[in-house]
């Protein structure tokens, strides 16, 4: 009887010890998952039809953006369910660059894509024969600018491109 009690106590202590050591690991994993939208530093380049319109390093994260034509919508990678949690995105980076450097951009909101099409940057639009191509590290994004995740050090470019 005494041995059984001892063994039970030992087992309970071992289980409790496991639970106590496992708990911080779980908490850490959950905290890490919540930080997918930590600010990143990227280079934003706006290449117009007649040359460079803007180029600067920008701290950015996914956030709601407002355009004159499209209104206010999220632009944090959860658009179109592209990501489960918020992340920094190219259009959010453009929005931060514009706000902090005193220029504007405009975009139409497409509910069908849950995203903006970026139509005008610094007063320059495609005018029916060109568009603002969005690329990250030289590759056009396969999705809209609020759905793609950007990372620290990325080159985010909006390039006036004729059809």
Binding site for ligand B12 (CB under 6 A): 80, 110, 112-113, 115-118, 131-134, 140-145, 147, 163
Residues 6+ apart with CB under 8 A from 81: 114
> Starting at the edge strand that comes first in sequence, how are the strands of the sheet with 130-136 ordered?
51-60, 40-48, 155-162, 130-136, 139-140
CB-nearer residue toward ligand B12: 48 or 80: 80
**Nearest distance from residue 29's CB to ligand B12, in Å?**
30
Q: How far is the CB of 163 from ligand B12 (least distance, A)?
A: 6
Which residue number, 12 or 69, has a Cβ lying nearer to ligand B12?
A: 69
In whole angstroms, what is the distance from residue 45 CA to residue 155 CA? 8
Show the CA angle centred on residue 24, arms to residues 36 and 15, nearest 5°.
145
Smaller CB distance to ligand B12: residue 20 or 111? 111
| Minimum separation from the CB atom of position 64 to ligand B12 (A) | 16
Q: How far is the CB of 55 from ligand B12 (least distance, A)?
A: 18
Pick the closer one to ligand B12 by CB: 35 or 163.
Answer: 163
- Sign of the CA dihedral running 114, 125, 48, 92: negative
* Cα 132 from chain centre: 19
Please identify, using beta-carbon distances, which residue of 16 and 84 lies nearer to ligand B12: 84
**Closest CB to ligand B12: residue number:** 144
**Least distance in Å: CB of 7 to ligand B12?**
60
- What would the two tokens of residue 32 be? 């890490």
Cβ neighbours, 10 Å, residue 31: 9
């Amino acid at each position: 009887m005494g041995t059984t009690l001892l063994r039970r106590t030992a087992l309970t202590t071992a289980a409790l010890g496991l639970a106590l050591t496992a708990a911080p690991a779980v908490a850490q994993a959950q905290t890490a998952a919540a930080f997918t939208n930590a600010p990143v530093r990227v280079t934003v380049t706006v290449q117009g039809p007649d040359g460079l319109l803007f180029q600067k390093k920008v701290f950015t994260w996914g956030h709601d953006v407002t355009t004159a034509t499209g209104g206010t919508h999220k632009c944090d990678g959860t658009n179109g369910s592209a990501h489960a949690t918020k992340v920094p995105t190219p259009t959010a980076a453009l929005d931060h660059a514009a706000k902090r450097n005193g220029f504007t951009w405009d975009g139409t909101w497409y509910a069908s894509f849950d995203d903006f099409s970026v139509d005008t940057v610094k007063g320059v639009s495609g005018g029916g024969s060109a568009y603002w191509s969005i690329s990250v590290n030289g590759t056009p994004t396969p999705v809209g600018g609020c759905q793609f995740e950007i990372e620290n050090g990325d080159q985010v470019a909006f390039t006036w491109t004729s059809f």
